[in-house]
Amino acid sequence: MQCDNCGERPAAIHLTQIEGNSVTTVHLCEQCAAEKGVQTGASVAKLPLSGFLASVGQGAAAALPADADAGGCGFCGATLQDFRATGRLGCAHCYVTFEQQIRELLRRIHGSHVHAGRIYLPATAATEAEPVHLHAELREQLRRAVEAENFELAAELRDRLKVLE
């Protein structure tokens, strides 16, 4: 099959577009596709990774709902707008402040928002100083996990609370 655009080179990209009720299929060679700005796997693969990651991170950050901008992080003062601009969060507390948005973002980036790796056991000094803090934090997480019907996480949190108690 020849390219629909130049009629010379063999078509390598078959693009199907759906607009309203009409479906159109165009067959293009790689060169014409590139000229028309169609991104193929091959051309995506040529992009350096940082650009790609930035587009994943920032693209997703930019897609966060605008009305979520109301407040900043109580600890570092960062706002969602800052995050959108830099692709970086300001501090660990931002994850709690913007929890809803970040959960959605993590799901989009990683396909999941629930950590399944190593569990961090706080440094001894920190635990002794704030066992109550950790306990309360876990309890709060548990409440939210149940609310979000994330029962797998809830079970894990309950286990961890038991160990702590």
d(CA 124, CA 45) in angstroms, rounded, equals: 46
161: nearest Cα among 126, 124, 131: 131
Q: Taking CB under 8 A as the rule, does residue 37 contact other proteins?
A: no
d(CA 54, CA 4) in angstroms, rounded, equals: 34
Q: Which helix (H) or strand (E) holds 27?
A: strand 22-28
- Judged by beta carbon, residue 7 or residue 59, the one nearer other proteins is 59
Q: Taking CB under 8 A as the rule, does residue 124 contact other proteins?
A: yes
Q: Taking CB under 8 A as the rule, does residue 149 contact other proteins?
A: no
Site string for other proteins, 75-114 (x = CB under 8 A): xx-x-------xxxxxxx--xx-----xx-xx--xxxxxx
d(CA 49, CA 55) in angstroms, rounded, equals: 10
Residues linked to residue 25 through DSSP beta bridges, in sequence order: 16
Q: Using CB under 8 A, which of 28, 29, 33, 153 touches other proteins?
A: 153
The binding site for other proteins (CB under 8 A) comprises: 41-42, 44-45, 48-53, 56-57, 75-76, 78, 86-92, 95-96, 102-103, 105-106, 109-118, 120-126, 137-138, 141, 145, 150, 153, 156-157, 160
